[in-house]
Structure 1
Amino acid sequence: MLMMRMRAFKPMRVFTALTFGGVAVIVLKLLVLQFVRDHRSKDAIHYTRPGRQGNTTSEEDMSRRVTLMSQACATRWSYNLGSQLYSVSIYSDENQNLMYCPVPKAGCTFWGRIFSFLTRPDDMSQMKIHSPFEIDRMKIHFGPLQPVGQPDWNLAKNEIKEHTVKFFFARDPYSRLWSVYLDKYYLPDFWHRKELSNHICLLNISFQKFMAFAITSHDGHVLPVAVVCNPCEFRPQYIGKMETFFRDSKFILDKGRMGSLLDNYSFKNYTETELKSIISNYFWYYNMRQLSQCFTEKDLCRRMWRVFQINGHIRSTLEFPENLPIYNEETFLGHVLQTVRSQGISRAEAATQRRKYLANAYKTVSRAVIKAIQERFKPDFDIFGYDTRPPK
Structure 2
Amino acid sequence: MPLVKKHFTSAMLFVSLCLLLDIYSRMKTLSPPDVPKERLKNTGTPHLENCTTSTHISAIWRRNSLLRQKCSLAKHNLSPNVRFYHWKNLVYCKVPKCGSTFWMQVFIALHKVKGVGDIFGKMRSLHHSSPLSEISNWNHVTGSDVIFHVARNPYSRLYSAYVDKIYLPGFLGVSKIINKHNKKHCNQSVSFGEFLDYILKENLQDPHWQPISDLCGSCTVPYNVISKQESFNKDVRFILDKLSISGQLKQKFIKNLKAKHTENSIKEITKVMISFAKTDPCITFQQFCQRLWKSFQIQGYISDLVSFPANKFKHLNFDNVTIIVRKFLKGTKKIVMNDVMRKLQRQKNLSKAYRGISQKTLDILKKVYKNDFDIYGYTNELPKEI
CA RMSD of aligned residues (A): 2.4
Distance change >3 Å, CA 377–CA 141, structure 1 → 2: same
Following the alignment from structure 2 to structure 1, what is the Cα–Cα distance between the partners of residues 258 and 290?
24
Q: 2:105 is matched with which residue: 113, 123, 127?
A: 113
Following the alignment from structure 1 to structure 2, what is the Cα–Cα distance between the partners of residues 338 and 169?
34
Following the alignment from structure 1 to structure 2, what is the Cα–Cα distance between the partners of residues 337 and 138?
21
Unaligned runs of 5+ in 1: 1-54
- Corresponding letter in the other structure for 2:358: S
Between 1 and 2, higher relative CO (CA 8 Å, sep ≥ 6) is seen in: 1
Q: 2:150 is matched with which residue: 132, 150, 169?
A: 169
Q: Does the aligned pair in 2 maintain the 1:186–1:203 contact within 8 Å?
A: no
Following the alignment from structure 1 to structure 2, what is the Cα–Cα distance between the partners of residues 338 and 171?
32
Percent of matched pairs sharing the same residue = 31
- Corresponding letter in the other structure for 1:92: H
1:6-45 → structure 2 map (5 Å cutoff)? none
Q: Are residues 1:248 and 2:219 paired?
A: no
Q: Say which one has the larger Rg.
A: 1
Q: CA deviation at 1:98?
A: 1.2
Q: Does the aligned pair in 2 maintain the 1:140–1:146 contact within 8 Å?
A: no
- Corresponding letter in the other structure for 2:302: I
Following the alignment from structure 1 to structure 2, what is the Cα–Cα distance between the partners of residues 317 and 267?
27
Residue 316 of structure 2 corresponds to 326
Residue 82 of structure 1 corresponds to 78
Residue 380 of structure 2 corresponds to 388
Residue 153 of structure 1 corresponds to 136
Unaligned runs of 5+ in 2: 1-49
Q: 2:85 is matched with which residue: 79, 91, 98?
A: 91
Distance change >3 Å, CA 375–CA 99, structure 1 → 2: same
Residue 368 of structure 2 corresponds to 376
Q: Does the aligned pair in 2 maintain the 1:381–1:387 contact within 8 Å?
A: yes
Q: 1:211 is matched with which residue: 175, 178, 196?
A: 196
Following the alignment from structure 1 to structure 2, what is the Cα–Cα distance between the partners of residues 335 and 243?
31
Residue 41 of structure 2 corresponds to none
Distance change >3 Å, CA 265–CA 120, structure 1 → 2: closer
Q: Secondary structure at the match of 1:133?
A: coil
Q: Are residues 1:301 and 2:301 paired?
A: no
Following the alignment from structure 2 to structure 1, what is the Cα–Cα distance between the partners of residues 196 and 336?
32
Following the alignment from structure 1 to structure 2, what is the Cα–Cα distance between the partners of residues 333 and 106?
26
- Corresponding letter in the other structure for 1:82: L
Q: Secondary structure at the match of 2:226?
A: strand
Q: CA deviation at 1:273?
A: 3.0
Residue 43 of structure 1 corresponds to none
Following the alignment from structure 1 to structure 2, what is the Cα–Cα distance between the partners of residues 370 and 148?
38
Residue 262 of structure 2 corresponds to 271
Residue 311 of structure 1 corresponds to 299
Q: CA deviation at 1:244?
A: 1.8
Residue 45 of structure 2 corresponds to none
| TM-score when normalising by structure 2 | 0.76
Q: Secondary structure at the match of 2:179?
A: coil
Q: Are residues 1:103 and 2:100 paired?
A: no
Q: Between Structure 1 and Structure 2, which shows a larger proportion of helix residues?
A: 1
Q: Secondary structure at the match of 2:149?
A: strand
